Structure 1
Amino acid sequence: MSFSILTDLDWLAVLVATVAFFALGGLWYSTLLFGKIWSRAVGLDMAGDEKPPVTIYLMPLLTCFVSSLALAMLANATGTDTVGEALALGVVAGLGLAAMALLVTGFFDPKKPQPMTWVAVTAGYHLLGLIVVSLIVALWP
């Protein structure tokens, strides 16, 4: 694989996957799902009235884009174009790469009050998010 593969990508699929991954994160870390659990795990006190600055969303959006781009490159390079292949790619990337990197980070992080809870919530997001991204970039018409 080389970077010339970038010319073969469907960039609209990459952008849609980026937005889907980012939106999933907004839902995942909201109080509707795992926001309170995640906050306790990292020792944050989330004030109800406090609004975060808009800039706090830029880094996650950038990382969602880079992850979507990387998976689009891998899907293209491996010829991934079926639901089964896309699911396999998402699981390999989400569990085999993202979750394992998070696990070792959490294992050696004495600063978080509940590091393994943080790993579970964060790795779960990345696993599901990368599966969604894989499905989008591999199956985009």
Structure 2
Amino acid sequence: MAELFDGVSWAGVVSGAIAAFLLGWLWYSPKLFGAKWAEGVGVRMGAADEMPKAAMGVQVLGLFLVSWLVGVTAVSEALATIILAVVAFSVMGYAGGMFRNNGRYARRVDAGYWLASVVVMVICQGIF
């Protein structure tokens, strides 16, 4: 269990999770890929009466866990492991989008977000 905590840059983990969340906010906004992504997944942007708080909370938790994983792999000098893991899970997410009949553009936007998020998390680990 110690390998999950020893030497981990918690500033890097927290800042990586926050930066990835903010990246997602921009990534899925109408300013970047949001409008066309929404068409591809069959949702209408701005249709919700309120922010999906539960979904956002789970997203923050997931980003924290991935950022923590980046931190653990950075300490053990195994960043290639996280790169492999994220590519693998991005491919699995892409396949899930295919099963849900999401449009190709939407699947690429989702996979691209995960790849970009991990790049941001690795940069945060390097800074902190």
TM-score, normalising length from structure 2?
A: 0.84
Do the aligned partners of 2:94 and 2:110 also contact (CA within 8 Å) in 1? no
Do the aligned partners of 2:19 and 2:120 also contact (CA within 8 Å) in 1? yes
For 1:61, what is the secondary structure of its paired residue?
Answer: helix
**C-alpha spacing 1:31/1:89, structure 2 compared with 1 (3 Å):** farther
CA RMSD, aligned part only? 2.2
Unaligned residue ranges in structure 2 (runs of 5+): none
How far apart in 2 are the matches of 1:124 and 1:56? Answer: 20
Residue in 2 that maps onto 1:92: 84
Greater relative contact order (Cα < 8 A, sep 6+)? 2
TM-score, normalising length from structure 1?
A: 0.77
**C-alpha spacing 1:41/1:79, structure 2 compared with 1 (3 Å):** closer
Q: Which runs of 4+ in 1 moved over 4 A?
A: 88-91
Q: How many residue pairs were aligned?
A: 127
Unaligned residue ranges in structure 1 (runs of 5+): 81-87
How far apart in 2 are the matches of 1:120 and 1:69? Answer: 25
67-76 or 39-48, which moves further after superposition? 39-48
How far apart in 2 are the matches of 1:49 and 1:11? Answer: 34
- Rg larger for: 1
Percent sequence identity over aligned pairs: 25
